[in-house]
Amino acid sequence: MSKIDRYKAGFKKPDRRYAIYPILHGNSFEKETIETLDRRGFAGVVGNVPYTKDFPNDQPAWDKAINGFREYIDKGMHAWIYDEDGYPSGSARGHVTETHPEFIAQGLYCYKYWRVLIGPRSYRSDIPDAKLYRAVLVPADGKGDPVDITSSLNENNVLYFDIPEGKYYLFIMSIRRLFDGTHATQSWSEPRNYISLSDKEATKAFIQCTHENYKKRLSDEFGKGILAMFTDEPSLIAWQITAGVFPILPWLHSYPKDFEARYGYDFMLACVAVALEVGQDVVKRRCDFWEFIADTVAEGYFASLQDWCHENNLKASGHMLREESLQAHVYNYGSFYRAMKKFDWPGIDQLEVDIAPLMNDSEIPIARFIASFADISGEREVFTEFQDLWYRFTEDKIAGIECYYNTINWHLAMGVNNFTSYASYKSLTDEQIYDINQYTARSGYLLRQGIRDSRIGIFYPEATMWADYILNCNEDARDDSERMVSLEKTFAASAWELLHRQVDFDYVDFELLLNGVVKDGKLTYRDRAYSVIVMPGTRVLQDAVAARLIELAENGITVMFCYELPTVSRETGLASPYAEKIAAMIKDGKMFHEGSIEKIGDFYDACLPDKSRSIRVLDKDGNYNHMILSHCRVTEDGSQVVYITNMGEAVFTGTLSIVGDFAEVFEANSFTGDIAPVAFTKDGDSVTISVSIEPGEGRFYLV
């Protein structure tokens, strides 16, 4: 029997779980809705208990939800539990913050008086309408540590203090509820207080009134008919969507004590470094601050949810806020990467169905970014919350059938194999929707075979992000500084230039680099094996990672630096002790560097070794087509599943070459479920197939 024969049954009649899960809140448990979803071939539903003013004690609402979930399951469908009423997840429609006002998220509002104060002299100042955390005098030259004048606050909330000799700025940090202009007021749900993601006790309260109530009534289906818990767009909200007056830092009452216990100095000094970019050890302190925030968020919220899910045979799942913005990763989570590692089934929020925005190469390719987490962890399940919402509300259009296939094919190429959806399907018939579900399920079946053949790791430069992001009160907390903008451009380009060349890759972090094992010229981690490490815009780097890069290069692994070199030590904020060695290795051709963001593509063409890829897609003139996306998977027996899709506006005609001594090549048709042999030629150690792909079309090849 051919190796390919084992795919035929599972592909022709795929597991229903691999189809699409509509996300429904209002009518998800109505009999007519359940029957319609069943008839249309959907996988099941993402749903939640109807939230009323009596939540979580409304027994009829719970009865309706539980009976509805069971009816889906009885019909052979599956379900995810959506853990909130609207979004962001965490407050249980305000129940947590209403019953525990001490859990309401707070921020440090940072006010710097614009005038330089010259001492010695006496001075008076009122403070913002909030609880004072610290008032300090910051040396105007940016050198030296601030002078703490907090104790000069009198019973009337007025500061009376003496200015020492010299020039200073007055800087006041005040604790205030996070609400005005934040995600608490700007979501599509309702104006709602929120919790701090760093607060484990707040998360416990959320779990107690939400997750535990599902457990009481539905635990017999956990891990069977009920697959996962879905948490939606949690974030620190310590920033303003609308333009603000004062910049904001995240705050929790335990931060100062916990920070000092970990880093050995006053939390206030780190706050000043982040807010004003001044003081001693400014780079180190900025990194300390955001690293501390990152770990409290990852452990306080995301790990708490994951631990509960694991204890109850469920997968922890969900997606974040503003996944596409590197700087938003800082102010929303401290480190997006550290938080995302706490998901079993990581996901994205994709609002677009048109090809142009899907292929926007100025932003992080979020589907490939998020899929990396599941590829590296070994979970293999990556989901999207896709929808035509933007299309309907901003362009007042109804998505045609081609839009659905466009977005599905884009997701498949990026590595997404699990589809949840807010899509309307308004223009489609029941038969067309059924066909889309079959197409998605068949494609999802093949994308669950083997592992993605990523041989390149793109580094997530969190220390550089921490050092470079400038706190501000702009709309969306947008930092337009040259350094931050360049870092975002570099990070996006380093990925898209690989996608444009149909090269598979993962995003990796410092822990993977440090914990991986060097073997046969590759960095191995679990079942991953990287022959190339790309370092985009990495100016600030942990000393241990810099030393590791040198070791990797000395052991035959290609190390490529895009735009910046790691010249600054994350631990000290001073010159990296490894900078000279790295520069020397670049000069000797043992490492590689390109200083221009615009030339990263050419840099790849010149320096990527052949071993970094297993397929090559070329047009009839022998060139790459930037609108072709690909996805290559390799199984234990060496057979491969190769997927390519055309995101361009014209028919693509060219060749697909796959490295390997293969005796058979088949095409798998996700529309019909048929697998048929195709003609190919052998060229050295590769097989080559002639391909012609319509705009928006996707193709699977099995070898």
Show the 3-state SS of 598-650: HHHHHHHHHHCCHHHCCEEEEECCCCCCCCEEEEEEECCCCCEEEEEEECCCC
In the chain, pLDDT over 70 holds for what percent of residues? 99
Are the C-beta atoms of 285 and 274 separated by less than 8 Å?
Answer: yes
Give the span between the Cα atoms of 268 and 259, in whole angstroms: 10
In the chain, pLDDT over 90 holds for what percent of residues? 92
Determine the pLDDT at residue 698: 98
Give the span between the Cα atoms of 63 and 127, in whole angstroms: 52
Determine the pLDDT at residue 393: 67
Tell me the pLDDT of the chain averaged across its residues: 96
Are the C-beta atoms of 475 and 617 separated by less than 8 Å?
Answer: no
394 has pLDDT over 80: no
Give the span between the Cα atoms of 524 and 551, in whole angstroms: 14
Q: Residue 244 phi/psi, 5° resolution?
A: -110, -175
- Tell me the pLDDT tens digit for each residue of 85-108: 999 999 999 999 999 999 999 999
Give the span between the Cα atoms of 136 and 119, in whole angstroms: 14
DSSP-derived pairing of the beta strands 315-319 and 226-232: parallel
User: How does residue 396 score in pLDDT terms, banded at 50, 70 and 90?
Assistant: low
Give me the numbers of helices (H) and strands (E) for the chain, helices first please: 24, 34
Angle between helix 600-607 and helix 482-499 axes, rounded to 10 deg: 50
Residues of the chain by 3-state class (helix, strand, coil), percent to 5: 35, 25, 40
Nearest to 38 by CA among 443, 434, 438: 434
Give the span between the Cα atoms of 338 and 333, in whole angstroms: 8
- Structure tokens given for 509: 């972090």
3-class secondary structure, 69: helix
> What letter does residue 255 receive in the DSSP assignment?
H
Give the span between the Cα atoms of 534 and 550, in whole angstroms: 13
Count of C-beta atoms within a 10 Å radius of residue 2? 14
- Tell me the pLDDT tens digit for each residue of 596-655: 999 999 999 999 999 999 999 999 999 999 999 999 999 999 999 999 999 999 999 999
Q: Using CB atoms within 10 A of its CB, is residue 1 exposed (0-12), middle (13-18) or buried (19+)? A: exposed
- Tell me the pLDDT tens digit for each residue of 110-149: 999 999 999 999 999 999 988 999 999 999 999 999 999 9
Determine the pLDDT at residue 1: 58
Determine the pLDDT at residue 662: 94
Determine the pLDDT at residue 298: 99
pTM over 0.95: yes
CA angle, 18 then 19 then 20, to 5°:
125
Give how far Cα 542 sits from Cα of 263, 464, 578, Å.
16, 10, 10
Count of C-beta atoms within a 10 Å radius of residue 156? 7
Average pLDDT over residues 168-196: 93
